[in-house]
Structure 1
Amino acid sequence: MLHLSLFTEDKRQNLITTREGEVKVGQQAQLPITNCNLADNLTQAKANGARFVILGIGEDIGPRANLGRGGATNAFESAMAQFLNLQSNRFFNGKECLILGQISTQDLQLDTQSTTEQLRDQVAKLDERVITVLTSIFDSGLEPIVIGGGHNNAYGLLMAAKASFKRPIAAVNLDPHSDFRPKEGRHSGNGFSYAAASGALGYYHVLGLHELKNSEATLAQLETFGAQWHSLQQIWIRQELSLETALKQIAKQLNNTQSPVAIELDVDAITNMPSSASTAAGIPLLDALKYVNYIGKHCPSVYLHLAEAAPSCHVAGEAAGHRETGQSLSELIYSYINARINAL
């Protein structure tokens, strides 16, 4: 069974604010046909000029299964409220995007009385849904832009990409946490270690890794796998090298693998971004935008994954969280699209 809630014309109309003399991205973006199966929807969208598929996975069972905070359930709505209201103009039309909708997760969400083991069992069930939907998207030749949900969904994305491209994937992840924790049951902290063990992850680089937010056991596991990293402290605190230099090094390493490239970003890397593990000691949003744009432009990227945004965790309340999350995710989406359209 395909667990997918399609984005509808009614949803679009409820989100877009029109103004005379202006055309919004949401007015130009493609929507799925509700009585059409996924494969046909993707084929039709591609024939009509689509290159990107925007998909939501609204869940917080992954972060909660990792003993973290909930709240990462409605970032997709926040993002679409902002993204669809951007101007359609000479820089970006909007027709290049299919706003597909969201993978259904409501039946998997468990209440606060659930055990860690129960939550991890549900994450494993979600993995299956993510793999099924994303494999179809990759097979269609379109590039998914996925808005989470927890970073647990990196596993399903990497598994689907490997299934479609028939080879392991090279991933780069802007994240203070490597998410390479032990295989102790599925959660948001071990998506990449599970993907590595399955053969879906062939190369892994962590940008902005916090030197004191990863256990020694995790660091050892990363080294054993052959993963590389640039730490938050190296670039932004001690300034041992510039972000530009780090990005050039990362792009060279990714391209040397001759593999499809996954661009991962946990928004808790960004200063004060509302998320399941928000931080005051993060990086500026502008540097996150540069990361997405640089790797997207200089590497054979096959998807962008924006994980862990949690509007309800904003210190000023949920309304402020929706505004900040929506604006930030919209900028990240456009940064990726712009890079891919102008890729070298």
Structure 2
Amino acid sequence: MIHLAHISPNHISEIVSQRPLETHIGEQCQWLTELNPAALSQAKQQGARFALLGINEDIGPRANLGRGGSGPGFLACLKQLLNWQANDFFQAEQLLIVGEINLSIPVGSAEGLRRQLPLLDETVSHVTQQLLRAGLEPIIIGGGHNNAFGLIDALYQVTSLPVTAVNLDPHSDFRPTEGRHSGNGFSYAAQSGALGQYQILGLHEHKNSHASLQQLAQFNGRFHSYQAIWQRRQLSLTDAIADIIEHLHQGAPLALELDVDAINDMPSSAMTCAGVPLADACYYLYRFGRECQPRYCHLAEAAPSCHPAGFEAGMRHSGQALAELVMSYIQGRLSHLLPR
């Protein structure tokens, strides 16, 4: 069963701590209690710009024959981000906490899980369309990277233009369209016509099948590999980002994607010890937020239970990293307003 769960005002105190002479983001941000045009319009009139939406599911990675655990990322992020300070660097009323799309399905076969995913795609697209139509910028956290398909579809439906996607990810997620899972969100989006251009930063040369790379090439997808930037140092991260920006389709709506399994030692279904530094992932989001006009930002695949020290350590680690990523994106979007 799929539903959008809002956070009750009665439960805010369980997430946000209070201290004398301090004001936290969670005490000044806005909280949505009902998803409808009137409520979204009111929030926007009260200063909301960014809509924080969670997706609590792990069937996409499991349908891809991977590990589960990507459900609690949104809650992990809230527990950190909303306890940061509301100060001159961020006016917290600009942040609207929408709630979390919840999907819970017992362990089953990969084929059975894949049959469930189209309904999740529809729900993700429907909710995101409402946020986009209200003039808000969604920041989506949690769940598998399969949800990129629903998000790209939402942006396509709202703009009626093929979407350009930029993705920091060791995997292309351009596997054959043999059934929905976390490894083919972008190939399904391309097949549907919603995705018009695709560029990948940090693609790992040894973690993508020949079939995926061939299909990506046929789509004219572009990438700068992890090995070229961080291992062989053939070009800098700054130059790689500049090249991606230079090749963006002009006038196309931009989807900004990040799979946290790109980040070194980040708890995820495909956790790696040879990944991108968190600071570089933050720079990626800041730079695109500052220089381009993304319509949404998607942070996928955080899996606290995959932390080697256990779930609680994973919640702290994931939450801190996700909060840094969210704020890096927001500061990029608001760079012209930051104190100097």
SS at match of 1:101: strand
**Does the CA contact (< 8 Å) of 1:58 and 1:105 recur in 2?**
yes
Specify whether residues 343 and 263 from structure 1 end up closer, same or farther in structure 2 by C-alpha distance, changes over 3 A only.
farther
Long gaps (5+) in structure 2: none
Deviation at 1:252, TM superposition (A): 1.6
- Alignment partner, residue 133 of structure 1: 127
* Cα shift at 1:251: 1.3
| Residue of 179, 184, 188 corresponding to 2:182 | 188
Query: Partners of 1:186 and 1:204 in 2: how far apart?
Result: 19
> Aligned residue for 1:326?
319
Measure how far apart 1:37 and its partner are: 4.1
Give the aligned partner of residue 246 of structure 2. Answer: 252
1:155 counterpart letter in structure 2 = F
Partners of 1:2 and 1:132 within 8 A in 2: no
Q: Normalised by the size of structure 1, how large is the TM-score?
A: 0.96
| Whole-Å separation in 2 of the counterparts to 1:68 and 1:130 | 21
SS in 2 for 1:71: coil
Distance in 2 (alpha carbons) for counterparts of 1:158 and 1:291: 20
Q: Please give the residue correspondences for 1:49-68 in structure 2 after superposition, counting only pairs within 5 Å.
A: 49-68=47-66
How far the C-alpha of 1:46 sits from its partner, in A, is 0.6
1:42-191 → structure 2 map (5 Å cutoff): 42-106=40-104, 109-111=105-107, 114-191=108-185
* Alpha-carbon distance in 1 for matches of 2:50, 2:37: 15
2:257 to 255, 264, 272: 264
Please report how far the alpha carbon of residue 110 of structure 1 lies from its aligned counterpart in structure 2 after TM superposition. 2.3
**Contact 1:262–1:301 at 8 Å: present in 2 too?**
yes
Superposed CA RMSD in Å reads 1.4
How far apart are residue 174 of structure 1 and its match? 0.4
Identify the residue that residue 242 of structure 1 maps to in structure 2.
Answer: 236
* Identity over aligned pairs, percent: 53
Shift of 1:257: 3.0
The SS at the match of 2:275 is coil
Deviations 1:4-33 (A, max 9, x none): 11122122211111111110000010011x
> 2:141 & 2:201 partners in 1: Cα distance?
19
- Whole-angstrom CA distance in 1 between matches of 2:2 and 2:234: 48
C-alpha offsets along residues 249-280 of structure 1, whole Å, 9 cap, x if unaligned? 111212x4321111100000001100011001
Residues 133/2 of structure 1: CA separation in 2 closer, same or farther (3 Å cut): farther
Taking structure 1 as reference, are residues 56 and 132 closer, same or farther at Cα in structure 2, changes over 3 Å only? same
Letter matched to residue 298 of structure 1: E
Please give the secondary structure, in 1, of the residue aligned with 2:47. Answer: coil
Cα contact 2:163–2:254 (8 A) shared by 1: yes
Q: Is the 8 A contact 1:61 1:110 kept in 2?
A: no
Q: Is the 8 A contact 2:156 2:163 kept in 1?
A: yes
Pick one of 256, 279, 285 that aligns with 2:278. Answer: 285
Which residue number in structure 2 is paired with residue 19 of structure 1? Answer: 19
Unaligned 5+ segments in structure 1 are: none
Aligned partners of 1:29 and 1:98 also within 8 Å: yes
Q: TM-score under structure 2 normalisation?
A: 0.97
| Deviation for aligned residue 1:300 | 1.3
